[in-house]
Amino acid sequence: MTGQNETQVDVAVVGGGPGGVFFAYMAARAGLRVHLLEAQSDFNREFRGDTLNPLALGLLEELGLISKIMELPHGTVNTLRGSGAIPYMISYSMLRSKYPYVMILSQSLFLNFMVEQAQQYPNFTLEMRSRVSGLIEENGAIQGVEYRDATGSLRTLRATLTIAADGRNSAVRKLANIETLTLTNQPDDILWMRIPMQDDLDPKEDLVTRQDATNSLFMFRRPYERDWQAGVTIIKGDYKALRAQDISVFRAQMRNLVPEFGDRLEKLEWSDVAYLPVDLKRAVQWYRDGLLLIGDSAHIMSPVGGVGINLAIRDAVVAANMLIAPLKQGAVSIEQLAQVQRKVEWDIKITQNFQASIQNASKRTAKNSFGSKIGRKMAGWFTKIPLVNSIPVRILAFGLVNVEVDTTLLAHIA
Ligand SMILES: Cc1cc2nc3c(=O)[nH]c(=O)nc-3n(C[C@H](O)[C@H](O)[C@H](O)COP(=O)(O)OP(=O)(O)OC[C@H]3O[C@@H](n4cnc5c(N)ncnc54)[C@H](O)[C@@H]3O)c2cc1C
């Protein structure tokens, strides 16, 4: 503490999502003074996906945390199948990896777990219900943040480095006047909902994908919550008009996609349905002197392939590998922050372009530009060829940047 309402640390981390908790854990384990601020009162936040891909699982292994993670209730998915206009099958089991699958783990369990690991270190502090509302800027450099703590008091957190891990609508990014690029207009938005499980009627797969002429649906089973999380695409801009209609219109669309969920769909109300505008965005520059954006605050991915959590974790590991040593010396240069962006941004660009092309192609297909029977069959065969599949599945599973945890930086061994 430097004053009644002022604290001085090495790293201020804003946002306790996957990127923020991962960076905070690594920096705390390396012996740095870390202060994590999270706006919500707990980690049981609105649904943000429950997936950990092979890359994240490998990184958890390198940190010595994987066996504890595996003890948490979870499921696994190793094959993605689509039965729509272009049938496809993408198999994680063809990967040469110790973890050739996607782990389905409640994000709140995962975040709580990571925070508990960080809390082993006395140099780590977590403040919940603490929302950042301002940046401390001196001589053009960011020196920390201002926030309202759980009691409503305005506080100052001074830090050598501020990590903005505050998600897609990042307040810190806006406060730092960092410009974002919006990439090709996405054709769809997504509606999210939970549907209770019913063992006798449910499909056997853990992940179900369906498509009709206008909508695509994917849903995965969460046995630990006794529900299915379902996402259904709607044409961008159509939400208001759909929402203005009686819920029975939407229920009928859902029935068309998953008739076996019949009775449960009749209980859906608009209050059960969350609207997610699909965006592909990237901050032009991920840093300013004293500040680094990671995860969604630097790049919003589309839901295609479920890579957002993985990439936020990867950013955190890349940033920790590159910045822990200079932080221990007491200063991080702007060039060191730029190196973090350079290391991963090219892959983010490729992945975003890949996501945009998949979304646009599937939309064109649904509108019958590829709709002949022979065309659909050929597309089906094509996507079953292992060599063709192995390229996107590798991108989805690992990304293109080779990242390993630099454990030599981490003073304490878990
Ligand atoms: C409905 C939905 C479903 C998704 N499904 C998947 C999926 O299946 N697989 C996948 O990989 N990705 C999925 N994603 C994307 C994934 O959630 C994100 O890519 C990932 O969570 C990004 O992690 P992050 O740490 O960068 O930010 P976030 O997880 O968004 O965390 C940001 C945190 O910052 C906090 N915060 C915000 N503002 C402030 C502030 N001013 N002060 C303090 N704290 C603040 C927020 O409360 C939040 O906890 C989904 C996203 C959504 C919206």
How many Å apart are CA 359 and CA 373, to the nearest integer? 21
Residue 163: which pLDDT band, with cuts at 50, 70 and 90?
very high
Q: How many angstroms does the Cα of residue 204 sit away from the middle of ligand 1? A: 29
Residue 98, pLDDT > 50, answer yes
* Helices and strands per DSSP (H, E), number in the chain: 12, 21
Strand-pair partners of 293: 164
Q: How many angstroms does the Cα of residue 3 sit away from the middle of ligand 1? A: 32
Looking at the chain, the whole-number percentage of residues with pLDDT higher than 90 is 61
Please enumerate in sequence order all residues whose Cβ is within 8 A of that of 207, keeping only pairs 6 or more positions apart, or say none.
77, 79, 80, 81, 218, 219, 220, 221
How many Å apart are CA 162 and CA 160, to the nearest integer? 7
Residue 380, pLDDT > 70, answer no
Residue 368: which pLDDT band, with cuts at 50, 70 and 90?
very low
Rg (CA), the chain: 22
> Average pLDDT of 123-130?
98
Residue 390: which pLDDT band, with cuts at 50, 70 and 90?
low
**β-bridge pairing 188-196 and 274-276:** antiparallel
One-letter amino acid of 146: E
Residue 378 token pair = 């050929």
Domain 188-276 in the same topology as domain 6-182+280-409: no
Per CATH, the number for 188-276 is: 3.30.9.30
**CA-closest residue to ligand 1 atom 2:** 48
Answer yes or no: is the C-beta of 292 below 6 A from any ligand 1 atom. Answer: no
Q: What pLDDT score does 374 carry? A: 38
Answer yes or no: is the C-beta of 306 below 6 A from any ligand 1 atom. Answer: yes
Q: Does residue 161 contact residue 326 with C-beta atoms inside 8 Å?
A: no
Residue 354 token pair = 């890949």
Residue 349: which pLDDT band, with cuts at 50, 70 and 90?
very high
Answer yes or no: is the C-beta of 30 below 6 A from any ligand 1 atom. Answer: no
Q: How many angstroms does the Cα of residue 297 sit away from the middle of ligand 1? A: 9
> Average pLDDT of 245-259?
93
Residue 176, pLDDT > 50, answer yes
Q: What is the mean pLDDT of the chain?
A: 87
Residue 227, pLDDT > 60, answer yes
Answer yes or no: is the C-beta of 308 below 6 A from any ligand 1 atom. Answer: yes
> Average pLDDT of 115-127?
98
Answer yes or no: is the C-beta of 305 below 6 A from any ligand 1 atom. Answer: no
Best mutation site among 292, 309, 348, 398 for ligand 1, i.e. most ligand atoms within 8 A of its Cβ?
Answer: 309
How many Å apart are CA 299 and CA 292, to the nearest integer? 12
Q: How far is C-alpha 274 from the chain's CA centre?
A: 17
Q: What pLDDT score does 362 carry? A: 58
Residue 203: which pLDDT band, with cuts at 50, 70 and 90?
confident
> Where do the domains of the chain lie?
6-182+280-409, 188-276
Q: Does residue 278 contact residue 302 with C-beta atoms inside 8 Å?
A: yes
Answer yes or no: is the C-beta of 54 below 6 A from any ligand 1 atom. Answer: no
Best mutation site among 21, 38, 48 for ligand 1, i.e. most ligand atoms within 8 A of its Cβ?
Answer: 48
Q: What pLDDT score does 387 carry? A: 45
Q: How many angstroms does the Cα of residue 296 sit away from the middle of ligand 1? A: 7
Q: What pLDDT score does 83 carry? A: 53
User: Measured at the alpha carbon of residue 246, what is the angle toward residues 242 and 248, in degrees to the nearest 5?
Assistant: 100
**CA-closest residue to ligand 1 atom 51:** 48
Q: What pLDDT score does 115 carry? A: 98
Residue 149, pLDDT > 90, answer yes
Q: Is 24 helix (H, G, I), strand (E, B) or coil?
A: helix
Q: What pLDDT score does 366 carry? A: 45
Per CATH, the number for 6-182+280-409 is: 3.50.50.60
**CA-closest residue to ligand 1 atom 38:** 166
Q: Is 300 helix (H, G, I), strand (E, B) or coil?
A: strand
Residue 99, pLDDT > 70, answer yes
**β-bridge pairing 141-148 and 227-235:** unpaired
Q: Which among 201, 205, 196, 199 has a CA at the least distance from the CA of 75?
A: 205
Position in ligand 1 atom list of the atom nearest CA 22: 25
Which of the pair, 79 or 362, is modelled with greater confidence? 79
Q: Is 362 helix (H, G, I), strand (E, B) or coil?
A: helix
Position in ligand 1 atom list of the atom nearest CA 300: 19
Residue 405: which pLDDT band, with cuts at 50, 70 and 90?
very high
Q: How many angstroms does the Cα of residue 310 sit away from the middle of ligand 1? A: 11
Answer yes or no: is the C-beta of 399 below 6 A from any ligand 1 atom. Answer: no
Residue 22 token pair = 């991962």
Answer yes or no: is the C-beta of 47 below 6 A from any ligand 1 atom. Answer: yes
Q: How far is C-alpha 192 from the chain's CA centre?
A: 15
Q: What pLDDT score does 243 carry? A: 93
Q: How many angstroms does the Cα of residue 375 sit away from the middle of ligand 1? A: 38
Q: What pLDDT score does 386 carry? A: 47
Q: What pLDDT score does 82 carry? A: 56
pLDDT digits (tens, 9 = 90+) for 268-295: 999 889 888 888 999 999 999 999 999 9
**CA-closest residue to ligand 1 atom 19:** 308
Q: Distances in Å between the alpha carbon of 13 and those of 84, 278, 281, 357, 394?
A: 42, 26, 22, 34, 30
Residue 87, pLDDT > 80, answer no
Helix H segments across 330-385? 334-366, 373-382
pLDDT digits (tens, 9 = 90+) for 128-140: 999 999 999 999 9
Answer yes or no: is the C-beta of 286 below 6 A from any ligand 1 atom. Answer: no
Q: What pLDDT score does 214 carry? A: 77
